[in-house]
Chains A and B, each alone.
Chain A
Amino acid sequence: MKKCMIFVLAIMIIANVSAQTKIEDQVNYFFAQNKIDMVMKLNNVSYENFSRLQDNFLIIEKDRKVLSLDLNSFKENKEDIAEFSSIYRPNMIAIDLKNLPEISFSNQNEIIKIMQADDGATKVFFGKKADQNESFPSVFIVEHYIPDTIVSDNYRLNGTPRLTAIFRNSPKVEIINNGLYFNPNTFGISARSFFSSDLEKSQFDIMSEDNVKELVGFSDSILISTSFLSFDYFFDRGYKTESWDYSKEEIRGFDVFPEQCSKLGFVFLPGYGYDFIGTSTFTKNNGWILGIAYSEENKFETSLDDMKIFVQKSYENNLTPIVRVDSENLDAKRVADFINRLSNITEGKLEYVQLEDKPNLEGIAPEDYADFVIYIKERIRQDIKVISASLMPGREQIINGKILYDSEKYISSLAEITDFTGSIDYLGGYAYDLNISGLDCITGKDLYSGETICIDDITSYKAELELFKEKTGKSFEVIITEAGYPLTDANLRKTESLLQLFKEDKNVLAALVYSANSWEESPDSAWLKEDKSQSGFMKKIMQDICS
């Protein structure tokens, strides 16, 4: 790379219409007092252009022809001064120096030259007054330059364009570069623009009277530092700067704030008893608890008794019970009967029921499931909230002659059935989805294929909500009826992150962890211990996100 390539430029001025001397003041402020002698080498140009401030005009001389820029009106009289409104802001104009390899300013017996290295690389931008009645902002923006001296800053070594903005008494000026929106009046960057901007390799200088605030952009951050104005030939921008030894550190995490975990709860498997106090402790009261009932003939009465106690005890412990009713062969009549009887014997305390679980995995066609739900909804107390069955994410397969339905197609079919969408109050959802990327992976068993897969992508419930909104025009809330991963230290952060996400997601009414008591079926996923003590995993979660 050629060492002595060139360089820079810059300037702009604007002053108050009513006080044209301010134009000079501003130039003085930037240059004169700092004894500048920025005579830069020119790459391939053998002549000079001189400019000066005369009255209210910036005079630029080139080949003995005089270009002038009326600083009051900004009416350019030469084609060298081009409108850049399409690229930048409508209220910005720019001088493109493609035909002006060098311009100079004469000020207080000093000549200040600005040159460019490559045609079109250097532009001098001028802020334009926002309104006829407002003052001209004093904004100075200098883009580009290739250093004249050897610098260790890789950005400049590579000739990366740099934006310099000088603000002073500048009301209502918007400067947009790399998606960043500055407000020079408040010296601020719009937070929205900051988060959406492409910061990679961007550099900005914001100058005030006695210092320069340097902004160096990296892919996900901006580093801001202060340099005091100290014009020096040996530095490529006319003031002292530094090169950054920047080691990238990515910060990722999740929010923890003092809020009770009242959105959370546990799923209890039937037959092992319930730990209401443990659940209440975990959720800091007002949490959720899900019990599973069976409506088939041989289990009906036992399950009814079980659920009666479950609902009553839940209320006694300030928990909201959800009763999931599983049926055999989609016997809607029996399920409706079960719900009505349970509602009666619990004196109306039954508020939430979920109808079935993973019907797409059971070979139940979506239309049949929809009919099942519609039938039941019509025959139960109308203030009982119906939660649709959570679907198991996966692709369509036929195993042993049974169709395993694609979950996306399944939910899409259900969303098309108006009576169905009118019959449910909440969508049931899972926290699992296939993590196709396989990154940062928590594994689980694919109930379709039996293979070990990554299950920690949690976007499925969001996609289902979006789909339902699109199809019905109505925003549904979701109740996650199975969340949580095996209780290993490696999964701790991921689990915390997951639960925290549910706490914050306003579309999630509740998220229940699977499971509280799967001591036999899945012991590494059981959050509560048989002796009613808390697992260390659970304690840590409570401490981190429920404190």
Chain B
Amino acid sequence: MGRGQISILIITGLVALIILSFIIFKMYYEKTEIITSSHEKDYSRQVKPVTDYANSCLDKVSMLAMSKLGEQGTIYPNVYLASNDRKISYFYFKKKGYFPQKITLENQFSEYVKENIKTCLNDFSDTKFVVEDVGEGILINSKIEDEKIVVEMTYPLNVYYESKIIPIEKFSAEINTGFSGMYDLSEMIFLETEKNPDWINLGSLQDTKYKVRLIKVDFNTLVYEISDDNGLEGKPFKYTFAVKYEL
């Protein structure tokens, strides 16, 4: 056998080895994934009470966030009217606009949920499961859509079930609310105020389905209350904010 033939044989062997390794790797990888997927499917039913519990907490805390948002205009007001039990956000104050962008409200919503979800979860002590916080923290993503607010929570947990550890991490809640329309109206009111800070523009209220209450607070401050009788899960909801007019 000549040197050339040996070389070809070696190269062929190497190529075959690489191909074989690739096939084995691929087979192994796919098998593992299927197994993992299969396990998740099997055990997701078993740990469903935990998932349901977390989802219901997410729902409860999201409703609290909505309540806060409705009462205050923003969840964490920066410029506000400090009333007895709440801080009503100014959207226009001393010739400056403080109208919150939708993404700001979404971020505040997420922050509120993140701050309060653990209290509601109460270490899952209300469930019959042992649930371990993996320690990777909680990630909340909130999205204000036309007729609802979608809240997604990523919270890596290990659920102990029959000597096994079942990892779960995705939870979600949907709040049916017409908040988006009320927000749009508040933006219109804000823009009109910014344009003419000495006029209360009824034009911006002309084609809405909402009731709007204008409450005198002092000699130049109005609190707007936009109401929808079916605004939050079929129940009444108010979106409140304040405007200080330039007289």
Q: A187-B206, A253-B88 are in contact. Are A224 and B211 (CB under 8 A)?
A: yes
Binds A, one of B18-26, B78-86, B107-115, B137-145: B78-86
The reply on B94 being an interface residue by CB < 8 A is yes
The reply on B209 being an interface residue by CB < 8 A is yes
CA distance A192 to B219 in the complex (A): 9
Contacts of A206 in B (CB 8 A): 202
Q: A189-B202, A226-B208, A257-B93 are in contact. Are A195 and B215 (CB under 8 A)?
A: no
How far is the CB of A502 from the nearest CB of chain B, in Å? 15
Binds B, one of A215-223, A508-516, A522-530: A215-223
The reply on B191 being an interface residue by CB < 8 A is no
Binds A, one of B1-9, B166-174, B193-201: B193-201
Contacts of A226 in B (CB 8 A): 205-211
Chain A residue nearest to B216 in the complex (CB): A220
Q: List which B129-165 residues lie within 8 A (CB) of chain A.
A: none
The interface residues of chain A, by DSSP majority, are classed as: mixed
**Binary contact track B219-247/A, C-beta < 8 Å → 1, others 0:** 11111000000000000000000001111
Are B90's CB and A255's CB within 8 A?
Answer: yes
Give the number of chain A interface residues (Cβ < 8 Å).
37
The reply on A191 being an interface residue by CB < 8 A is yes
CA distance A221 to B217 in the complex (A): 9
**Binary contact track A245-269/B, C-beta < 8 Å → 1, others 0:** 0000101111111100000000000
Are B199's CB and A183's CB within 8 A?
Answer: yes
Q: Which of B80, B84, B207, B214 touches A224 (beta carbons < 8 Å)?
A: B214
Q: Which of A191, A208, A256 touches B200 (beta carbons < 8 Å)?
A: A191
Are B205's CB and A254's CB within 8 A?
Answer: no
Q: A186-B203, A253-B81 are in contact. Are A224 and B213 (CB under 8 A)?
A: yes
How far is the CB of A500 from the nearest CB of chain B, in Å? 8
Contacts of B68 in A (CB 8 A): none
Are A221's CB and B199's CB within 8 A?
Answer: no
CA distance A249 to B71 in the complex (A): 13
Q: List which A190-237 residues lie within 8 A (CB) of chain B.
A: 190-192, 194-195, 199, 206, 208, 211, 213, 215, 220-226
Are B220's CB and A188's CB within 8 A?
Answer: no
Are A223's CB and B199's CB within 8 A?
Answer: no
CA distance A225 to B185 in the complex (A): 13
CA distance A187 to B200 in the complex (A): 9
The reply on B212 being an interface residue by CB < 8 A is yes
Q: Which of B80, B196, B208, B215 touches A251 (beta carbons < 8 Å)?
A: B215
How far is the CB of B45 from the nearest CB of chain A, in Å? 47
CA distance A383 to B95 in the complex (A): 35
Chain B residue nearest to A214 in the complex (CB): B211
Are A191's CB and B83's CB within 8 A?
Answer: no
Q: Which residues of B contact A (CB under 8 A)?
A: 77-84, 87-88, 90, 93-94, 196-203, 205-217, 219-223, 244-247
